[in-house]
Protein backbone atom coordinates (compact mmCIF):
# COMPACT_ATOMS: atom_id res chain seq x y z
CA UNK A 1 0.00 0.00 0.00
CA UNK A 2 2.80 2.41 0.88
CA UNK A 3 4.46 2.00 -2.51
CA UNK A 4 1.32 2.99 -4.36
CA UNK A 5 1.02 6.11 -2.14
CA UNK A 6 4.64 6.94 -2.94
CA UNK A 7 4.16 6.46 -6.67
CA UNK A 8 1.06 8.72 -6.60
CA UNK A 9 3.10 11.28 -4.62
CA UNK A 10 5.89 11.33 -7.21
CA UNK A 11 3.47 11.55 -10.12
CA UNK A 12 1.50 14.40 -8.49
CA UNK A 13 4.58 16.40 -7.52
CA UNK A 14 5.60 16.33 -11.18
CA UNK A 15 2.11 17.08 -12.48
CA UNK A 16 1.67 19.98 -10.07
CA UNK A 17 5.01 21.47 -11.11
CA UNK A 18 4.08 21.15 -14.81
CA UNK A 19 0.60 22.63 -14.42
CA UNK A 20 1.37 25.28 -11.80
CA UNK A 21 1.42 28.25 -14.16
CA UNK A 22 -1.31 27.16 -16.61
CA UNK A 23 -4.14 28.95 -14.81
CA UNK A 24 -3.00 32.28 -13.38
CA UNK A 25 -6.41 32.84 -11.78
CA UNK A 26 -6.56 29.46 -10.00
CA UNK A 27 -5.71 30.84 -6.55
CA UNK A 28 -8.32 33.60 -6.80
CA UNK A 29 -10.96 31.18 -8.13
CA UNK A 30 -10.30 28.78 -5.23
CA UNK A 31 -10.50 31.60 -2.68
CA UNK A 32 -13.89 32.63 -4.11
CA UNK A 33 -15.04 29.00 -3.86
CA UNK A 34 -13.87 28.98 -0.26
CA UNK A 35 -15.93 32.05 0.66
CA UNK A 36 -18.94 30.72 -1.22
CA UNK A 37 -18.87 27.66 1.03
CA UNK A 38 -17.81 29.29 4.31
CA UNK A 39 -20.15 29.06 7.28
CA UNK A 40 -20.67 32.54 8.66
CA UNK A 41 -19.90 31.79 12.30
CA UNK A 42 -16.28 30.72 11.74
CA UNK A 43 -13.71 33.32 12.81
CA UNK A 44 -10.43 31.41 13.11
CA UNK A 45 -8.84 29.51 10.24
CA UNK A 46 -5.71 27.41 10.08
CA UNK A 47 -4.08 27.30 6.69
CA UNK A 48 -0.72 26.81 5.06
CA UNK A 49 1.75 29.21 3.43
CA UNK A 50 2.33 27.77 -0.08
CA UNK A 51 5.44 25.77 -1.00
CA UNK A 52 6.40 23.33 -3.78
CA UNK A 53 3.82 24.47 -6.35
CA UNK A 54 0.88 24.14 -3.94
CA UNK A 55 -2.26 26.10 -4.75
CA UNK A 56 -1.35 29.58 -3.55
CA UNK A 57 -3.20 30.49 -0.34
CA UNK A 58 -1.96 34.10 -0.26
CA UNK A 59 -4.98 35.55 -2.14
CA UNK A 60 -7.23 33.76 0.37
CA UNK A 61 -5.12 34.99 3.30
CA UNK A 62 -5.44 38.55 1.97
CA UNK A 63 -9.25 38.26 1.83
CA UNK A 64 -9.42 36.62 5.26
CA UNK A 65 -7.33 39.39 6.82
CA UNK A 66 -9.49 42.06 5.18
CA UNK A 67 -12.55 40.37 6.70
CA UNK A 68 -10.89 40.28 10.16
CA UNK A 69 -10.44 36.51 10.50
CA UNK A 70 -7.82 35.14 12.88
CA UNK A 71 -5.19 33.38 10.78
CA UNK A 72 -3.15 30.46 12.10
CA UNK A 73 -0.27 28.78 10.30
CA UNK A 74 1.09 25.32 11.07
CA UNK A 75 4.26 24.58 12.96
CA UNK A 76 5.65 21.28 14.23
CA UNK A 77 6.70 20.85 17.87
CA UNK A 78 8.07 17.47 19.00
CA UNK A 79 6.54 15.77 15.96
CA UNK A 80 3.09 17.31 16.58
CA UNK A 81 1.32 19.82 14.36
CA UNK A 82 0.33 23.03 16.16
CA UNK A 83 -1.20 26.21 14.81
CA UNK A 84 0.33 29.61 15.57
CA UNK A 85 -1.40 32.93 15.12
CA UNK A 86 -0.07 35.04 12.24
CA UNK A 87 -0.85 38.68 11.52
CA UNK A 88 -0.05 40.67 8.39
CA UNK A 89 3.32 42.13 9.43
CA UNK A 90 4.57 39.12 11.41
CA UNK A 91 7.74 37.46 10.16
CA UNK A 92 7.75 33.98 8.68
CA UNK A 93 10.69 31.61 8.87
CA UNK A 94 11.51 28.72 6.56
CA UNK A 95 11.94 25.87 9.03
CA UNK A 96 13.96 22.64 8.98
CA UNK A 97 10.93 20.77 7.62
CA UNK A 98 11.04 23.10 4.61
CA UNK A 99 7.84 25.09 5.09
CA UNK A 100 7.07 28.59 6.32
CA UNK A 101 5.86 29.14 9.87
CA UNK A 102 5.38 32.21 12.08
CA UNK A 103 8.61 33.35 13.75
CA UNK A 104 6.53 34.35 16.78
CA UNK A 105 5.53 31.21 18.66
CA UNK A 106 3.47 32.65 21.53
CA UNK A 107 -0.16 32.48 20.47
CA UNK A 108 -1.12 28.90 19.83
CA UNK A 109 -4.70 27.83 19.33
CA UNK A 110 -6.94 25.31 17.64
CA UNK A 111 -8.61 27.11 14.73
CA UNK A 112 -12.24 26.21 14.05
CA UNK A 113 -11.47 25.24 10.47
CA UNK A 114 -8.29 23.81 8.96
CA UNK A 115 -7.39 24.26 5.30
CA UNK A 116 -5.33 21.22 4.41
CA UNK A 117 -2.73 21.09 1.60
CA UNK A 118 -2.98 18.09 -0.73
CA UNK A 119 -0.83 16.33 -3.28
CA UNK A 120 -3.84 14.33 -4.46
CA UNK A 121 -7.44 13.68 -3.43
CA UNK A 122 -10.29 11.40 -4.38
CA UNK A 123 -14.09 11.77 -4.63
CA UNK A 124 -14.57 10.17 -1.18
CA UNK A 125 -12.75 13.02 0.56
CA UNK A 126 -9.42 11.35 1.21
CA UNK A 127 -6.20 13.23 0.55
CA UNK A 128 -2.61 12.35 0.01
CA UNK A 129 -0.05 14.58 1.71
CA UNK A 130 3.73 14.50 1.78
CA UNK A 131 3.83 11.33 3.87
CA UNK A 132 4.81 12.54 7.33
CA UNK A 133 1.28 12.21 8.74
CA UNK A 134 1.22 15.51 10.66
CA UNK A 135 -2.33 16.39 9.60
CA UNK A 136 -3.54 12.81 10.21
CA UNK A 137 -2.11 12.85 13.76
CA UNK A 138 -3.60 16.30 14.41
CA UNK A 139 -7.00 15.09 13.14
CA UNK A 140 -6.84 12.05 15.43
CA UNK A 141 -6.78 14.39 18.48
CA UNK A 142 -9.05 17.11 17.02
CA UNK A 143 -11.95 15.39 15.30
CA UNK A 144 -14.35 18.18 16.30
CA UNK A 145 -12.83 20.66 13.82
CA UNK A 146 -13.72 21.12 10.14
CA UNK A 147 -11.11 20.06 7.56
CA UNK A 148 -11.15 21.40 4.01
CA UNK A 149 -8.79 20.16 1.34
CA UNK A 150 -7.40 22.94 -0.86
CA UNK A 151 -5.81 22.25 -4.23
CA UNK A 152 -6.07 22.22 -8.01
CA UNK A 153 -8.80 20.27 -9.79
CA UNK A 154 -6.17 18.28 -11.73
CA UNK A 155 -4.97 16.74 -8.43
CA UNK A 156 -8.05 14.50 -8.26
CA UNK A 157 -7.42 10.79 -8.75
CA UNK A 158 -10.04 8.04 -9.09
CA UNK A 159 -9.19 6.41 -5.77
CA UNK A 160 -6.50 6.67 -3.10
CA UNK A 161 -5.23 3.83 -0.93
CA UNK A 162 -6.63 4.57 2.54
CA UNK A 163 -5.55 3.49 5.99
CA UNK A 164 -7.63 3.67 9.18
CA UNK A 165 -5.77 6.72 10.52
CA UNK A 166 -6.09 8.80 7.32
CA UNK A 167 -7.88 12.12 7.63
CA UNK A 168 -11.20 12.26 5.77
CA UNK A 169 -11.96 15.81 4.65
CA UNK A 170 -15.29 17.56 5.22
CA UNK A 171 -15.01 19.28 1.84
CA UNK A 172 -12.56 19.78 -1.00
CA UNK A 173 -12.18 23.17 -2.59
CA UNK A 174 -10.33 23.60 -5.87
CA UNK A 175 -9.98 26.31 -8.46
CA UNK A 176 -12.93 24.75 -10.33
CA UNK A 177 -15.22 23.13 -7.77
CA UNK A 178 -16.50 22.63 -4.25
CA UNK A 179 -17.08 19.04 -3.23
CA UNK A 180 -18.79 18.71 0.15
CA UNK A 181 -18.47 15.40 1.92
CA UNK A 182 -19.88 16.08 5.39
CA UNK A 183 -20.08 19.73 6.43
**Which residue ranges of the chain lie beneath pLDDT 50?**
183
- Which residue from 11, 16, 8 is spatially nearest to 152, judged by alpha carbons? 16
In a 13 Å sphere around the CA of 131, the CA atoms on its Cβ side amount to 12
**What is the tens place of the pLDDT at every residue in 59-79?**
999 999 999 999 999 999 888
Q: What integer pLDDT is reported at residue 157 of this predicted model?
A: 94
Kindly report the pTM of this predicted structure: 0.88
Tell me which CATH code domain 2-180 carries. 3.40.50.10420
Amino acid sequence: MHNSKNSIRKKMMLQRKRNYSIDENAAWAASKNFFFNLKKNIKSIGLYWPILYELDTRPLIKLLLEKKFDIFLPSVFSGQLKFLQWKLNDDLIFNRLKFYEPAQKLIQRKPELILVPMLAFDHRGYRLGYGKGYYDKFFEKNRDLKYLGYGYDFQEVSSLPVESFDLKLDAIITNKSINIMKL
